[in-house]
Amino acid sequence: MTDDQPLLSWERLTRNPAETKLLAEGLGRLLQPGDVIALMGELGSGKTLFSQGLARGLQVPEAYYITSPTFAIINEYPGRIPFYHLDLYRISAGVDLLELGLDEVLYGQGAVAIEWAERLKEQLPGERLEVHLAFSGEAARHLDFLAFGVKPELRLQALIENMGNTRVRPSFE
Ligand SMILES: Nc1ncnc2c1ncn2[C@@H]1O[C@H](COP(=O)(O)OP(=O)(O)OP(=O)(O)O)[C@@H](O)[C@H]1O
Ligand SMILES: [Mg+2]
């Protein structure tokens, strides 16, 4: 991870899993080829759930159920653009991206979500939208969005415009 500063940041409290998923879906609708979402937060904080929302926003068919890849570290899903879901939990910190063959994915033509993105350290792309998830009680989560780079800033700006003033209120749960 570089020591650069975010161009824009935003924070949001979600009160249940559905709210987190809706927020992620709103972001997924905005994603373009090459966008990287770096998900950080401890076990069970909601990184996979957030990825499921992104997939929905990217129009990945409902038949695909996004889970953390157990044996692979990456899964690819078809959507309006390819969606790559990575989980780096099992890799050691600072592992070489080239060794993992991930460089093509990170700088490719799909949208990318990376769980445990902090494991990439300084190899994390300079242009990325970081989403930090933290527990805030049993069913609430505190989400911190940090946009590094111009394109991530545009996505975050749009997300704030679309979701910032409305309470994220799910029609289910
Ligand atoms: N507000 C909330 N937002 C997201 N998840 C929530 C919320 N409240 C409760 N949860 C629950 O927290 C759990 C999050 O699990 P999830 O697998 O997404 O976490 P994770 O960060 O991917 O964990 P891991 O590090 O093991 O991959 C789910 O069981 C979800 O229902
Ligand atoms: Mg997970």
Handedness of CA 67, 92, 8, 80 (dihedral sign): negative
Task: Supply the DSSP string of 5-47, one letter for each residue.
Answer: --SEEEEEEESSHHHHHHHHHHHHTT--TT-EEEEE-STTSSH
Joined tokens for residue 93:
């910190």
Read off the pTM.
0.92
Ligand nearest to the CA of 89: 1
CB proximity list for 89: less than 8 A, separation 6 or greater: 68, 115, 116, 119
Phi first, then psi: what are they for 22, rounded to 5°? -65, -40
Pick the residue whose CA is nearest to atom 3 on ligand 1. 17
**Which residues place a Cβ less than 5 A from the ion ligand 2?**
47-48, 68, 115
Ramachandran angles phi, psi of 83, nearest 5°: -120, 120
Q: What is the pLDDT of residues 96-118, one digit of tens each?
A: 777 777 888 888 899 999 999 99
- The domain 11-162 is placed in CATH, from the list 3.40.50.300, 1.10.3720.10, 2.40.50.140, 3.90.1150.10, at 3.40.50.300
Average pLDDT over residues 150-167: 89
**Each residue's pLDDT tens digit, 136-147:** 988 999 999 999
Domain boundaries, the chain: 11-162
pLDDT given for residue 48 in this prediction:
96
Please compute the mean of the pLDDT values over residues 85-100 and round it to a whole number: 81
